[in-house]
Amino acid sequence: MSFAETPEGFRSGFLSFVGRPNTGKSTLTNALVGQKIAITADQPETTRHPIRGIVHREDAQIVVVDTPGLHRPRTLLGERLNAAVKDTYADVDVIALTIPANEKIGPGDRWILENVRAVAPRTPIVGVVTKIDAASKDQVGAQLLALHELLGPDSDVVPVSAADGLQLDVLTKVVTTYLPEGPKLYPDDHVTDDDRDTRIAELIREAALSGLKDELPHSVAVEVDEILPNEEREGVLDVHAIVYVERPGQKDIIMGYKGRRMGRIIHNSRREIMELLGQNIYLDLRIKVLKNWQSDPKALGRLGF
């Protein structure tokens, strides 16, 4: 079937995951799409821009919009991320609230639900209990009941494990019932509408975040400067990118003892970028201090926020 042809009863539309940071939204997005399109890290607020991934089914096409976690902002960046998230919620066909199976529902979850209902009062909300592989059956059962109670008696609630692939098909079937009938929005071979440079920058940031603690992860941003064919080696691309931090001391942390941490960042991200591009690359990575960029409107604009 070509992109232009649509079978009778075919459904297509947009799904957005919402939840506290680290509830498994990006991991779930990658599992549904079947390819890594969103980076994951142990730190909260890893996702910084809405990422669209396309789930292809015989009867439907679901465009999953993975958004930054809605949070109480401390910086201008945080305010802009929240604004982008709320714009996304207002435009999607269905919202999925993610709650881990092994963490009790708390004030943060209720705060997020209230905010979502305020900006998208008519959008249906599906409950998703994530990380069921990390919880007992009793914990999962209790969480399903608690989430059902939070969302209301008529809500659909689905337990899933993105890590083990459990119940993902059930989730896509449930989501499909909420989508309008309509044609395919993307060709069959499309997995994301993120551009190449953005995906590369995110892979570098993911490698840079590994092992970082406290506030430093929020201070890290990555920009791809240019990508050029290597003049001496055929089939090799030179990727020039910059890691930005906010203070000189943070630059030292990223570099690590005798530059070893920087070496690991280059090694790990280069491997991921080669997999993405399907060819050999040389990664030229530099670090620059962009003072307090999270609260500087000019710097945020330069970095695409």
Residue 6: inside a domain: no
Please tell me the total count of domains within the chain.
Answer: 2
* pLDDT tens-digit readout, 220-258: 899 999 999 998 998 899 999 999 999 999 999 999 999
Which residues define the annotated binding site for GTP? 19-26, 66-70, 130-133
Of 178, 204, 220, which closes a domain?
178
Residues 211 and 118 in one domain: no
Q: Which of 7-11, 104-108, 178-182, 280-284 has the lowest mean pLDDT?
A: 7-11
Higher pLDDT, 155 or 301: 155
Residue 183: inside a domain: no
Domain CATH code at residue 112: 3.40.50.300
Of 146, 178, 210, which closes a domain?
178
Domain CATH code at residue 279: 3.30.300.20
Given this model, what pLDDT does residue 59 score? 93
Residues 137 and 245 in one domain: no
Residues 251 and 135 in one domain: no
270 to 35, 174, 234, 237, 262: CA distances (angstroms): 18, 38, 18, 11, 12
Q: Are 68 and 47 in contact (CB under 8 A)?
A: yes
How far apart CA 18 and CA 46 sit, in angstroms, is 14
Which residues define the annotated binding site? 19-26, 66-70, 130-133
* Averaged pLDDT, 194-222: 84
Range of the structural domain that residue 287 is part of: 196-303
Residue 3: inside a domain: no
Residues 156 and 21 in one domain: yes
Decide if pLDDT at 3 tops 80: no
Residues 146 and 215 in one domain: no
Residues 28 and 163 in one domain: yes
Binning pLDDT at 50, 70 and 90, where does residue 60 land?
A: very high
Percent of the chain exceeding pLDDT 70 equals 93
Binning pLDDT at 50, 70 and 90, where does residue 4 land?
A: low
Percent of the chain exceeding pLDDT 90 equals 57
Decide if pLDDT at 156 tops 90: yes
Residue 186: inside a domain: no
Higher pLDDT, 190 or 110: 110
Residues 248 and 159 in one domain: no
Residues 44 and 153 in one domain: yes
**Tokens found for residue 301:** 């604009």
Residue 191: inside a domain: no
Residue 281: inside a domain: yes
Residue 248: inside a domain: yes
Residue 189: inside a domain: no
Given this model, what pLDDT does residue 77 score? 82
Residues 213 and 293 in one domain: yes
Residues 97 and 142 in one domain: yes
Residues 171 and 60 in one domain: yes
How far apart CA 173 and CA 145 sit, in angstroms, is 21
Residues 220 and 283 in one domain: yes
Binning pLDDT at 50, 70 and 90, where does residue 110 land?
A: very high
Given this model, what pLDDT does residue 1 score? 43
